[in-house]
Amino acid sequence: MKLLILGSSGLLGSTLVPFLTSCGHEVKTHGRSDDAQYQADLSDPNDLAGLLDTVDHEVIVNLVGLTDVELCETKPNQAYLVNVRTVENLAAWIKRQESPPHLVHISTDQVYDGPGKHAENHVTLTNYYAFSKYAAELVAASVPATILRTNFFGRSRCRMRMSLADWLFHSLSRGEPIQVFDDVLFSPLSMTTLSKMIELSIKQQPDGLFNLGTHEGMSKADFAFAFADQLKLPTRTMTRTTIAQATFLKTYRPRDMRMDCAKFETRLGIGLPLLGSEIEQVANEYREVA
């Protein structure tokens, strides 16, 4: 299929693009830097129309985001421009088309808080990042779209971005002191599995909003220790703590973002993995570099 990936030079895009290409799709990449084939500031409707009028595509995958939670909190209008306005411009362009492309839009598990697992209608918004991503979902839902609420981890293939697993791997390998949270729970997929699920969504094009993560989540602390255990990394410099005690974080972070992904599994006819097996798979990505 002819695919246009918006925000392709970021963390997820750097894994997703090579995967989609390896599946035989014709992939066009957008970003703001030269790392992508096409450059455009999508918060500008003319820039966006210039891009979408030029590039032939059947499906658009939108990875654009301002993902820095602290920055979204201190600059809410910037969060709006990147996370919401870009999708408003995109939806407006799609509505003008005679044969509209299907949109696959990536959202976040940060729209949840309180005891999980959360079904799709269980939204609790606690910071501007979450608020802006939720607003973007509402806009994306006004066109034919698959909206995926997700979280992910894995070895970064992006020059500019370090992932959570990169941070754990490098800190523990160098014996640097780090703190991991016992009271933050999540259910992320590996970027490899997420890429496969995005490809499935491109093929099946289900309309609607879906949670997309692993079965059974765990705390970020248990995740960090399980990852270290897989790679036999020393853990003496890693301390369990709670996010309530983490004074270096200014903005509130949700405590429990674990998702109930039954809707995605049923609609797409696929079983999602356990987080433990995803950690095992990601550990292998680091064995390649160790």
Residues that bind ligand NAP (CB under 6 A): 7, 9-13, 31-33, 41-43, 63-65, 67, 82, 86, 106, 108, 133, 150-152, 161
For residue 288 the two structure tokens come to: 């390649």
Cβ proximity to ligand NAP: between 67 and 193 the closer is: 67
Q: How far is the C-alpha of 38 from the C-alpha of 116, rounded, in Å?
A: 40
Cβ proximity to ligand NAP: between 208 and 234 the closer is: 208
Name the minimum Å distance from CB 154 to ligand NAP.
10
Name the minimum Å distance from CB 79 to ligand NAP.
10
Name the minimum Å distance from CB 22 to ligand NAP.
19
Cβ proximity to ligand NAP: between 163 and 268 the closer is: 163
Cβ proximity to ligand NAP: between 15 and 269 the closer is: 15
Name the minimum Å distance from CB 46 to ligand NAP.
13
Q: How far is the C-alpha of 77 from the C-alpha of 59, rounded, in Å?
A: 29
Name the minimum Å distance from CB 248 to ligand NAP.
18
Name the minimum Å distance from CB 67 to ligand NAP.
4
Q: Reduce the DSSP state of residue 273 to 3 states and report it.
A: coil
Cβ proximity to ligand NAP: between 55 and 237 the closer is: 55
One-letter amino acid of 6: L
> Is the distance from CB of 254 to CB of 187 less than 8 angstroms?
no
For residue 29 the two structure tokens come to: 């990449």
Number of residue whose CB is nearest ligand NAP: 10
Q: Torsions phi, psi of 135, nearest 5?
A: -60, -40
Cβ proximity to ligand NAP: between 108 and 146 the closer is: 108
- How far, CA to CA in Å, does 36 sit from each of 5, 51, 74, 244? 10, 12, 29, 39
Contacts with 111 (C-beta within 8 Å, 6 or more apart), sequence order: 123, 124, 125, 130, 133, 134, 137, 149
Q: How many CB atoms lie within 10 A of CB 242?
A: 14
**Lookup result for tokens 């990936």:** 5
